Amino acid sequence: MKRFFSLILCLLVLAGCGQVKKDPNSIVVWHWMTDRQKAFDKLALKYQEQTGIKVQFELYAPSDVYSQKVVAAAQARVLPDIFGILDKKSIMASFVQAGFVADLTEEFQKDNSVWENSIFPKALAVNRFEEGNIQKVKPGIYGVPIDVTNVQMLYNKKLLQKAGINNPPKTFNEFLEAAQALKRVGVPVLVSGWGEHWLVDCFASNYAFNIMGEEKIMATYRGEVPYTDPDWVKVLQIFAVLRDKGALAEGIVAKPNKYAEQDFALERVAFAFNGSWCVNVYHDMNPKLEYGVMLPPATDAQFPLKIWGGAGSSFMVNNTSQVKDKAVAFLKWITAKEQQVFLSEETKNLPANREALSSLPAILSEFAGAMDNTTHPKVWPINETPLVSEAFDKGIQSIIIGEKTPQDVAQEVQQVKEYGFKKAKRVTTQ
């Protein structure tokens, strides 16, 4: 018996021995993008043929598991040469401050900033820490976007034709007229995954930019403008109008985006509010779907409507990597036009390289055309607190189901905001 146990223990210990030695001509990339693994592998093979450097893309999905692996690997000081940080910008800042992420500013600005100029500025902004940033990170660019995204509205060409609408609506009033025409032929108007708060927030934010402009929004977040301000009530009123005109698909406030995507892909609804990743999703669900992209129809307010967008996925270079220079060279190569077009065609995502736009399929081009019109909470100088955002998003859901009026919601959100301020004041005085 003792011999048996000893033998098993010896075998197990032997099986655990041995560590893989680092090859100076190989780069390891950790990522979470399941649908891009095949394309990455093809690019890695091409890069090896061109340079002799082996690039190994290691996939760890889903993204929350991937994030935990990156945090654990950082603590154990075994991060790969290239990796991504999926958390908030504050987490990225802590990685930078701990010395895990290389400052790529110099590389981006080499040769008259040729690399920096090739990438969408909005995508780079997500990976940039500006002078005087609240995280107190040394100003610079710390990540490389490999693709970009934005959130817009989509319309089903066949359903619009069925309702006698020849062109997609450009203004909010035209949209309401289109909604009436669609209702007459029994077609539900707009669907979105508004069961997920961030999508409600995104739609409301579009109109907040349109109605009051960025400065006033930031002033509200700083507490200088109350949510009871008539402009904020107007933003909330948009949802009440959509509800009253019957422009929202049934059950929209409880719908996860996956179900909303099914509804649009299966031609059950005429309009959808969704991100550029939907091109891939719709293609999988219904390759014959005929649809177009449009900006959410703006109201006649004075400010331009801004949509959410920016870097889709970004990679960082491990500051302690033995092959740091090679890792940077590879990222330059993968964000070059040719590779970006390839990635875009294979994965149906928008390229981070601006020069790649000319070679894109039509629908992706339409999405990419609005990149200059984007903004994102990650690049704002200040963000609203989670508690207030939640109250705001839940309030919108209550308006949609007819439980509350825009005025009620504005007051409630302001109360949450004031409570937060009082609480913060108490903490600082203590």
Partner 1 sequence: MDQYQVKRILKSTATHAFLLSVALTCLFPIFWMVRSALMTNETVFIDKSLIPASLQFGNFYTAWLEGNFGVYFLNSVLYTTAVVIGIVLISSLAAYSFSRLQFPGKNIFFYMFVAAMMIPLPGSFVPLYVLMNNLHLVNTRFGYILCMINVGLSLSILLLKTFFDKMPQDLENAARIDGCSKLGLWWHVALPLARPAIAVIVIFNSLNVWNEYILATLLLNDKSLMPLQRGLMVFQGAHSVDYPLLMAGLTIAAAPILLVYLFMQKHIIKGLSSGAVITLDKRTKYF
Which residues make up the interface to partner 1 (CB under 8 A)?
1, 12-13, 15-20, 32-35, 37, 58-63, 65-66, 68-69, 71-73, 75-76, 78, 262, 265-266, 275, 277-278, 280-281, 284-287
Cβ distance to partner 1 smaller for residue 74 or 212? 74
Report, in Å, the least distance between residue 18 CB and partner 1: 8
In the complex, least distance from residue 58 CB atom to partner 1, rounded to whole angstroms? 6
Beta carbon nearer to partner 1, 262 or 411 = 262
* Inter-residue contact 193 to 199 (CB < 8 Å): yes
Considering the complex, what minimum distance in angstroms separates the CB of residue 70 from partner 1? Answer: 10
Indicate the residue among 186 and 287 with the shorter CB distance to partner 1.
287
Least distance (Å) between residue 383 CB and partner 1: 23
In the complex, what is the shortest distance from the CB of residue 335 to partner 1, in angstroms, rounded to a whole number? Answer: 20
Q: Which is nearer to partner 1, 140 or 351 (CB)?
A: 351
Smallest gap from residue 262 Cβ to partner 1 (A): 6
The smaller minimum CB distance to partner 1, of residues 69 and 216, is found at: 69
Using the minimum distance from each CB to partner 1, give the nearer residue, 68 or 161: 68
Residue 61 or 424 having the CB closest to partner 1: 61
Least Å distance, CB 66 to partner 1, is 8
Q: How far is the CB of 288 from partner 1 (least distance, A)?
A: 9
**HEC assignment per residue over the chain:** CHHHHHHHHHHHHHHHCCCCCCCCCEEEEEECCHHHHHHHHHHHHHHHHHHCCEEEEEECCCHHHHHHHHHHHHHCCCCCCEECCCCCHHHHHHHHHCCCECCCHHHHHHHHHHHHHHECHHHHHCCEECCCCCCCCCCEECCEEEEEEEEEEEEEHHHHHHCCCCCCCCEHHHHHHHHHHHHHCCCCCEECCCCCHHHHHHHHHHHHHHHHHHHHHHHHHCCCCCCCCHHHHHHHHHHHHHHHCCCECCCHHHCCHHHHHHHHHCCCCCEEEEECCHHHHHHHHCCCCCEEEECCCECCCCCCCCEEEEEEEEEEEECCCCCHHHHHHHHHHHCCHHHHHHHHHHHCCEECEHHHHHHCCHHHHHHHCCHHHEECHHHCCCCCCHHHHHHHHHHHHHHHCCCCCHHHHHHHHHHHHHHHHHHHHHHHHC
Query: Which C-beta is closer to partner 1: that of 235 or that of 260?
Result: 260
